[in-house]
Amino acid sequence: MDDILRIEREKVALAAHRAALRGSALPPPGDAPKGMFLHGFLLPFSLIAATLRDRELRGPYVRVVLMRGALVVLVGILAITGGNVRARERKGAGEVGIVVHHSPNHAKPSALHVDLPGLKVDIDDKEEKAAVAVLGQNIPVHDVQGAGAGTAEPREPPAPPGFALRVWSHVARSWAWLLALVAVLSATEGVIVFFSRRWDDWLSFHASRLASIRPEDDAPKTPKLALDLGWLYRKLKRRMRGYVVFAAGLPALLPLRLIPSVGGWLFTIAATLWGWYWLGVFSAAKSAHAWDDEEKALSPVPIRTLNERLSSSAVFAPLRWYGRAWARITRSVNPAATTFERSPAAFLGLALARVILSLPGFYLLARPIVPVAAGRLCAEVDPTGRFTAARAP
């Protein structure tokens, strides 16, 4: 019965966002489909559509995205052009290889072994091995059988590969270059956002009314280009804190590796779920509203459960020490974890949307909207209704 009710509530959430994408306003936080995965996933997309429809925000929002996007596209064109030039140079260079000729009229030569700086040769007919490396690069070696030097019959060229094999071969050769291109574009977006992020703060402040929530700041920040090293330091500090709190829980998962046969799989699955837990927590943390209950915040559920269930027996003393140290390490993120645990499905939906919207191009659209979406989910689960627009000063 619970599963049927959850499916029905997911359908209600889908219908609400379908209407929002078509032009309807989002329902107030008190009437929203709380706790639904689809609601959290679709919320940033609905807010992007609402921002584009808004008369006051559409112009600034589009201008900021287009100006940033033009710079990213320019860098992408330069990267793609440079990659094509290198590809043509490699293609024109032709294949390089070494031919080892075996003549039946002469005795087989002895093995050839050369080990010099930058050149390694290992050819031995008895062991049927032939390897040549120049500057660390393996060079193809071809064995040719014939009656004399220069009289070897040419081999018949192999049949051309099929379409699927050609596509797979192209992807295998290009994947590293594609990843490098994505990394370059993402880094370019990060640099652009660093200097122009106050436009995002201004847009987030005014987009909060579209989500029917109270803005995080008392007044909108002046949109301008700025060099804020303090913000960069806080950003890097939070990123390192995320790595630390994730790594702090891995020792608790290591016993899974001791299970025969399936231990490695179980550890991988558990570590993935642990990573998604923190991805949901930090999705909630994108809004300042998630940090308002610092005094009342509790440790994350896994840590709290471990510390509560350990007995006072001396046998479990190492686990108790680990549990206390684990709680101290994650204490700084307790408010965001408490907010996440009020509606984990919705925040996990937002986390999945963030993963998709982090791709180059989409990130520029989502940068000022994701904090508003996180604030909206915080307002929906807040027991006192502090973050709704009606309670704004």
Interacting residues of 189 by C-beta distance below 8 A, sequence separation 6+: 68, 72, 360, 363, 364
DSSP 3-state of 105: coil
CA 192 to chain centre: 19
145: β partners: 102
pLDDT per position in the chain (393 positions), as tens?
A: 566 777 777 787 888 888 888 888 888 887 777 778 988 999 999 999 999 999 999 999 999 999 999 998 888 888 777 654 444 444 444 455 566 656 555 555 556 666 666 567 677 666 566 776 665 667 676 665 554 444 445 555 555 556 666 666 666 666 777 787 888 888 889 889 889 999 999 999 999 999 999 998 888 888 888 888 888 888 899 889 999 999 999 998 988 988 888 888 999 999 999 999 999 999 999 999 999 888 888 889 888 888 887 766 666 777 888 888 988 999 999 999 999 999 999 999 999 999 999 998 899 999 999 999 999 999 998 888 888 875 444
Q: How many Å is the Cα radius of gyration of the chain?
A: 30
Classify the phi-psi angles of 149: left when phi > 0, otherwise alpha if psi is within -120 to 50, otherwise beta: beta
From CA 217, how far away is CA 200, in angstroms rounded?
A: 13
From CA 338, how far away is CA 383, in angstroms rounded?
A: 12
What pLDDT shows up at residue 392?
A: 41
Amino acid at 63: R
From CA 63, how far away is CA 115, in angstroms rounded?
A: 62
141: β partners: 98
Measured in degrees and rounded to the nearest 5, phi and psi for residue 131 equal -140, 135
| pTM recorded for the entire structure | 0.74
What pLDDT shows up at residue 148?
A: 44
Q: What's the CA angle centered on 120, arms 115 and 126, to 5 degrees?
A: 90
366: β partners: none
> Which of 197, 208, 249, 210 minimizes the C-alpha distance to 54?
210
Query: Which residue in the block uniquely carries the two structure tokens 């000729």?
Result: 101
- Which tokens hold the place of 215? 């803005």
What pLDDT shows up at residue 15?
A: 83
